Structure 1
Amino acid sequence: MQKSDRHQIILEEVQLHNRVLLTDLANILTVSMDTVRRDIKELDELSKLRKVHGGAISNGFNTYSDRSKEIFEQDSKVKIARKGVSLLQNGDVVMISGGSTNLELAKLIPRKMDLTFFTPSLPMAVELLNNMSNHHEVYLIGGKLSKESQLVTGGVSINSLTDITVDICFLGTGYLDYEKGITETDWEIAQMKKAMINSSKRLIALTISKKLNTVNRYKICEINTLTDLVTELDPDAEILKPYKSNGVNLV
């Protein structure tokens, strides 16, 4: 495979999943880890992505200060966010993680609705604060903050969630599969998301359809744990039928 082709595939994977591991890229490209490291280094030097320990993240991953950055599949994510907003009810207590689609949701939150938000994501907390009104309250869950994901993880944050019960959880997701469930690349993030689910009455995933039928290392939950799956597609789309068969409401 030519280097230009490898670079294109790497960029597509990073844009789609926000964070990818070197080992996964080596398997996808069927090349050595050293080759992937060189490719990542070159793409980082070209400012196409950001090189991090063990992998790479997209330039727009959990960024909130620079709104000029291009967002992958932004039109689809805005469409999904609008659908997600329609699921909110006045008075809801909402748990919400980070991720570009959830950040689009935060920008569209109706200012007149009385809503309370809990989030372990620093970018999400800032986005909610930027858009909040006198009708909103925002709580940032405390704990160890991951430099790469800007998400709080660890025992302190997980324990604090045992004292919270929310109406809705908007869970940022990188990998969804109707057989393997929702999975994650990072063990600590997976544990944090499990705790978020356990604190929630209703679990909603907002995701572009390109993430469907993808799997990674660490399982968060079975797919039928999801209450609602929100994509840019019509709910009757063929690719969504297995999810409906597993009891997931399609929006």
Structure 2
Amino acid sequence: MIKAERQDLILEHLLKDKKVLLDQISKVLKVSEDTVRRDIKELSDKGLLKAVRGGAIQRSSIPVHFKDRQHIDVPYKKIIAEKVLEYIKPGMVLLVDSGTSALAVVSNLPKDIALTVVTNSFPVASILEDHEKIEVLFIGGMLNKVSFSTTGYETIQAIRNIRADLCLLGICSIDLNLGVTGAEYEDSLIKRVMVETSKCTIALSTSDKLGTSDSFYICAANSLNIIITEADPKSVNLSAYVDAGIEIR
């Protein structure tokens, strides 16, 4: 079997199972693990997968720019937003990041609910302009033109002074072994400190982001308290996340 055929089969297995294990795929391809390792490295260099110890996983295909992400999976984000509402109680302090799923949640908040929302997201702050009973604490810092949010040292230090009841965290990628990761460095640093300082963190993630990875580490998967997806938890196999102590909705 020539190299191009091997690499096509590796990608086919990855598409089906969301991961490729060296020892298993080498037997399927009838070549050595070293050969598969070299193939995986080439595919990783081309951006077609994410090489990890022992094999490979899917690389997140989510666009980085907020304007592009805002129009992706809109019906799924609506389902996620509706599920989140049962966790939000009057009087809470919410820490809301700059993800488009978090924006969908905020857009669906009841007009009469009394909350304090702390955010570094310009779109989130703008949506809450019409909510008379919601106090908004907007965190300053350097403008990140990719995420339409503030980032940098001042932003991080301000978040460290907050102990939110609930953090709504938009997710790029989650893998049980590699953790929660992001595609944008500065934004990932902000998400990390949000998780560290919140009493409870809800990850807002479409199910296709599970088992994928990006370049910048945010936190361990079990640092999340709850993962909310658009899928029915009974219809997809998420038992490994439950076993890790994460509530799945």
SS at match of 1:113: coil
Offset at residue 61 of structure 1 (A): 3.5
Q: Name which of 120, 144, 148 aligns with 2:146.
A: 148
1:52 maps to which residue?
none
1:168-203 per-residue CA deviation (whole Å, 9 max, x = no partner) reads 000111111122110012222111111111221000
**Superposition pairs of residues 42-57 of structure 1, within 5 angstroms:** 57=65
1:19 maps to which residue?
none
Q: Give structure 1 stretches of 5+ with no counterpart.
A: 2-22, 30-54, 63-70
Q: Distance in 2 between matches of 1:241 and 1:191?
A: 29
TM-score (norm 1): 0.72
Q: Distance in 2 between matches of 1:190 and 1:56?
A: 12
> Which structure has the greater CA radius of gyration?
2
Q: Distance in 2 between matches of 1:98 and 1:58?
A: 9
Whether the aligned pair in 1 keeps the contact of 2:64 and 2:184 (CA below 8 Å) is no
Q: Distance in 1 between matches of 2:206 and 2:244?
A: 19
1:111 maps to which residue?
111
Whether the aligned pair in 1 keeps the contact of 2:66 and 2:100 (CA below 8 Å) is no
1:61 maps to which residue?
69
TM-score (norm 2): 0.72
Offset at residue 238 of structure 1 (A): 3.5
Q: Give structure 2 stretches of 5+ with no counterpart.
A: 5-42, 50-62
Q: Distance in 2 between matches of 1:212 and 1:105?
A: 20
Percent identity over the alignment is 30
Q: Name which of 196, 204, 207 aligns with 2:194.
A: 196
Q: Distance in 1 between matches of 2:64 and 2:100?
A: 16
CA 1:26 to 1:169, structure 2 compared with 1: closer, same or farther past 3 Å?
Answer: same
Q: Name which of 48, 58, 65 aligns with 1:28.
A: 48
Q: Distance in 1 between matches of 2:199 and 2:64?
A: 34
Q: Distance in 2 between matches of 1:199 and 1:59?
A: 28
Q: Name which of 159, 183, 186 aligns with 1:185.
A: 183
AA partner of residue 27 (structure 1):
G
SS at match of 1:72: coil
Q: Distance in 2 between matches of 1:98 and 1:24?
A: 28
Runs of 4+ residues deviating >4 angstroms: none
1:37-78 per-residue CA deviation (whole Å, 9 max, x = no partner) reads xxxxxxxxxxxxxxxxxx96374435xxxxxxxx22221111
- Give the total of aligned pairs: 195
